[in-house]
Amino acid sequence: MPEINYKKLKSYLEDLEKQPDQAGFAPVYLIYGEELLYKEASEALLNILLPVPERSLNYEPIDGANENVGEAVEKVNTYSLLSGTKVVAIHDSKIFYARQDDEILIQKAKEAYNNDEMKKAAGYFLSRLGFLNLSLEDINKSNIVKLLNVDEDIISDDGWLDKIIGYCRDNGLTVPAGEDKSKILGSAIEKGFPTGNHLIITTDLVDKRRALYKSIKKIGMIIDCSVPKGERMAEKKEQETVISARAQEILAHSGKTMAKDAYLAMYEMTGFDLRTFSSNLEKLVSYVGDRKNITINDVNSVLQRTKEDPIFELTGAIADKNMDNALFYLDSLLSGGIYPLQALAAITNQIRKLLLV
C-alpha cells in the first residue's frame, strides 16, 4: 500500500467508507510527523475504523511514554471479546529512535517539560537511558553530562532534568529494555494479524532506511504529517501555509475574523510551533468574547513572545559552517537574554566536535 500525505487523508477515508465490511483498511498504519497533525489524523482514522460507541472493549491504546512493544504485539494478535474490528494503538512511539539520536531525545524531553508534559518528557528521557543501558540509579549530577553524551549547555542549571528524574522515581517508571523493539514489531507485522485486527503507530520521527518502515510500507499504510522545519524559502512557505490553514480553521469554527497585522504579530511571537500557535489563537478567541474581530491590541495584551532561536540552532549553523546564520542566531540569543558564557560554551563545544571529525 502507498504512503500518502495527511492532506489526502480525508479523501482516502471517504473512499474506504464506501467499501463493504472495511475491506480496504490496512492491517497497520504508521502516522508520523508534526504532533498536532498526526494526532488529528489518528483520531480521524479511528473514528472511521472504530467509532466511539464501539471502543469500550475493542480499542486498546498504549502510551509511548512507557512503550511496551511486546504487549502491543500480544494485544493485536488476540481476538476481541466481541466480534468485529479491534484496534491497538501505540501513541507517541519512539520505535524509530536510535542510539545516535541522543541529543534529539534530550531536546524532546526538555520541550515536553517546558510544555508541562511530564509524562512525555519522562518517556523521552527513559528511552535515552535505555539506548545507553543505564538505569535511574546510575545517574547523578556529577556524571550526567558524560553518561548522556550531550552538550552541557543543553542540560542547563535550572533543574529541569532533576525534576524529570524525580517524576520517574515518584511514579515508578522504569527504563525500557534494550531489546530491538523495531525487529520484534517488524517480525509481527510480516507474520500478519488476525482478520479485523489493526495496529496504529503514531510518532514524530521515522527512519525510512529501517526494515520496520519498509515492512509497514509494504504491508500497511503510511500517513506523512511532517512539515519541513528548515529556513529555506520553500520550507518557510510550507510552514506558513500550515499555520495559515490552522488559523482559518479555528477562526471559522469560532465565527471570528483576525486583522492581518494581528495574525503577523502572532506568528512572529510563536514562529512555527503549531501547538503553541493554536493554543494562543484559542486564548484570543476566548479573550475577545462576543466581539467578532481579533486585533493587534488583543495580541499584545494577551500573548507573550514564545518564539526562541534555541542554542542548538546556533551550534547547527556552526556545524554547517554557515557564518551568516550563526551570527544571526547568536545575536538573537544574546538579545533574548542568554548568559554570554553559556553561548560561548556552546560555541566552544561545537568547535571541539568539528576538530575531532
Looking at residue 66, its pLDDT comes to 64
Looking at residue 65, its pLDDT comes to 64
Is the pLDDT score of 13 beyond 80?
Answer: yes
199, β-bridge pairs: 28, 88
Is the pLDDT score of 42 beyond 90?
Answer: yes
* pLDDT single digits (tens) 242-254: 999 999 999 999 9
* pLDDT single digits (tens) 77-92: 998 777 788 999 999 8
H/E run at residue 15: helix 9-17
Which residue is listed with cell 512539515? Answer: 227
Looking at residue 102, its pLDDT comes to 65
Looking at residue 4, its pLDDT comes to 93
C-alpha closest to that of 219 among 251, 185, 249 = 185
Looking at residue 125, its pLDDT comes to 86
223, β-bridge pairs: 4, 31
Integer Rg of the chain from CA: 22
Looking at residue 337, its pLDDT comes to 66
Write 104-107 long-range contacts (CB < 8 A, 24+).
104/205, 105/131, 106/148, 106/150, 106/154, 106/155, 107/154, 107/310, 107/312
Using CA atoms, how far residue 18 sits from 9, 28, 326, in Å, is 15, 20, 53
Q: Does domain 1-226 have CATH number 3.40.50.300?
A: yes
The ranges assigned to domains in the chain are 1-226, 233-302, 311-356
Average pLDDT over residues 22-38: 90
Whole-model pTM? 0.72
Looking at residue 82, its pLDDT comes to 73
Residues shown for the chain: 357
Common-topology check for domains 1-226 and 233-302: no
Grid cell, residue 296, equals 493587534
Q: Thinking of the domain 233-302, which architecture would CATH place it in?
A: Orthogonal Bundle (1.10)
* pLDDT single digits (tens) 180-195: 788 889 999 999 999 8
Q: What DSSP character marks residue 78?
A: S
Query: Other C-beta atoms within 10 Å of 85: how many?
Result: 20
